[in-house]
Amino acid sequence: MPEKDQERLATDLGATVAQLMRHLRAASPQGELTPTQRSVISRIDSGGPATTAALARAELVRPQSMRITLGALEERGVLARSPHPTDGRQVVFSLTADGRRTLAAVRQAKHNWLAVAIADRLTADEQRTLATATGLIRRLTQE
């Protein structure tokens, strides 16, 4: 059972990580993608082509909602559909070249914002502390 100090630290860490994520989302090119769209294309980028149903399950949304998200991404030229290799009733979605460029631009904007914030707002000693803390947070998230 965690002690009061550990509970307080968990609360503070969770709130701080959430605030960092909001800043990173805001740093993305304006109007590029919604958070759900970014999540879907990142998932396809890391996991490969996927069906609507698989993406809906992974993103914890209804298939109907996922169809709307996928339709918007397909309309923008970020995703392309192709027949499922073994089930003719389904289609799979994959990233297009434009989708890979869009995802790279979003990731670069986030990276740039964070690198500038670290350089501008933290001393060299604080940057070393952040490097140590980053390693600890990584250990917390490993399964």
Which tens digit of pLDDT belongs to each residue from 77-123?
999 999 988 888 889 999 999 999 999 988 898 899 999 999 999 99
Please tell me the distance from the alpha carbon of residue 117 to that of residue 121, in angstroms, as a whole number. Answer: 6
Listed in sequence order, the residues at least 6 apart from 76 whose beta carbon sits closer than 8 Å to its beta carbon are 98
Q: For 4-141, CATH number? A: 1.10.10.10
Q: Quick count: other Cβ atoms within 10 Å of Cβ 26?
A: 11
Mean pLDDT, the chain, whole residue set:
92
Express as a percent the part of the chain with pLDDT over 90.
Answer: 72
Both structure tokens of 16: 């701080």
Predicted TM-score (pTM) of this structure = 0.73
Distance CA 95, CA 105 (A): 14
Q: What percent of the chain has pLDDT over 70?
A: 99
Where is pLDDT greater, at 29 or 69? Answer: 69
Higher pLDDT, 27 or 18: 18
In the predicted structure, residue 30 carries a pLDDT above the cut 60: no
Q: What pLDDT, on a 0 to 100 scale, did the predictor assign at position 62?
A: 96
- Six-digit token string for 141: 């998230």
